[in-house]
Amino acid sequence: DVKVTQSSRYLVKRTGEKVFLECVQDMDHENMFWYRQDPGLGLRLIYFSYDVKMKEKGDIPEGYSVSREKKERFSLILESASTNQTSMYLCASSLGRSYNSPLHFGNGTRLTVT
Amino acid sequence: AQSVTQLGSHVSVSEGALVLLRCNYSSSVPPYLFWYVQYPNQGLQLLLKYTSAATLVKGINGFEAEFKKSETSFHLTKPSAHMSDAAEYFCAVTLPNTGGFKTIFGAGTRLFVKA
């Protein structure tokens, strides 16, 4: 079965810390995505990657960076965490260059920045 | 700008009643449309997707959606709600983007089912 695994379910970090959120997929998918989910705003795309070492900015990339050194792993980095980055973070992957490939999601990481 | 609008952040129905969750999209290119469901403390999972093969799309758990180009809509329905349908539902569209494509989501509609 398809699986996207996010390394942490809950994280609590302090303002100014560097934070790493890790995501691994076991489906050999080309595309990987990071979204943040906030009440009333739905999911907003932070970054995505359609190939190893490739990355594209989404709609809200400010304050974030990403790394994709291997096909199965996509990391989201908060260079200096701030309280407005407290949110649920969802990783997803999809197959190939097809517009109608659905996204497969992890269970999310709830990050609290204090 | 491309967008997805879900009308109603909360919908409440009685068990056994019709479920109707509304989604409208704006797109200058043929849309690739999806509905996802999120149960508490979980990620999203695919309910159904529009592939242009048919305007009425059937998904899991008895849900279906109808693509209406003239109305730019892709509303989700289920004839008879069950308590287990209580969840948050997201409409989404995949769009071309430099270097690939991206999926954008509506704000979500939380469905409550009353006994």
H or E element that contains B94: strand B87-97
Residue among B92, B107, B105, B110 at smallest CA distance from B40: B110
Residues of A in contact with B92 (CB under 8 A): 103
Residues of B in contact with A58 (CB under 8 A): 102
| B22 against B28, higher pLDDT | B22
Which of B16-20, B70-74, B100-104 has the least mean pLDDT? B100-104
Query: Quick check: B112 pLDDT over 60?
Result: yes
List, in order, residues 6 or more apart from A13 with CB less than 8 Å away: A19, A78, A81, A111, A112, A113, A114
Kindly report the number of other CB atoms within 10 A of residue A18's CB atom.
10
- Measured CB to CB, residues of chain B less than 8 Å from chain A are 6, 9, 32, 34, 36, 41-46, 49-51, 90, 92, 94, 96-108
List, in order, residues 6 or more apart from B17 with CB less than 8 Å away: B80, B81
Query: Quick check: B55 pLDDT over 80?
Result: yes
- Measured CB to CB, residues of chain A less than 8 Å from chain B are 4, 31, 33, 35, 40-45, 48, 50, 54, 56, 58-59, 90, 92, 94, 97, 99-100, 102-103, 105-108
Query: Could A43 and B45 be called an inter-chain contact, meaning their C-beta atoms sit closer than 8 Å?
Result: no
Residue B26: per-residue pLDDT: 85
Q: For strand B10-14 and strand B109-114, is the pairing parallel, antiparallel, or unpaired?
A: parallel
The average pLDDT across A68-92 equals 97
Query: Quick check: B29 pLDDT over 70?
Result: no
Q: For strand A109-113 and strand A10-13, is the pairing parallel, antiparallel, or unpaired?
A: parallel
Residue B46: per-residue pLDDT: 95
List, in order, residues 6 or more apart from B94 with CB less than 8 Å away: A99, A100, B31, B32, B34, B101, B102, B103
Tell me how far apart the alpha carbons of residues A32 and A35 are, in angstroms, rounded to a whole number.
10
Residues of B in contact with A43 (CB under 8 A): 44, 90, 105
Residues of A in contact with B45 (CB under 8 A): 105
Residue B1: per-residue pLDDT: 61
In which band, very low, low, confident or very high, does the pLDDT at B59 lie, cut at 50, 70 and 90? very high
Query: Quick check: A80 pLDDT over 90?
Result: yes
Residue A95: per-residue pLDDT: 87
Query: Quick check: B39 pLDDT over 60?
Result: yes
In which band, very low, low, confident or very high, does the pLDDT at B97 lie, cut at 50, 70 and 90? low
Considering only CB atoms, A107 lies closest to which of B42, B46, B99, namely B42
Residue B100: per-residue pLDDT: 61
Residues of A in contact with B40 (CB under 8 A): none
Using CB atoms within 10 Å of the CB of residue B2, give its burial: 0 to 12 exposed, 13 to 18 middle, 19+ buried.
middle
Query: Could B102 and A41 be called an inter-chain contact, meaning their C-beta atoms sit closer than 8 Å?
Result: no
| A11 against B27, higher pLDDT | A11
Residue B53: per-residue pLDDT: 75
| B29 against A50, higher pLDDT | A50
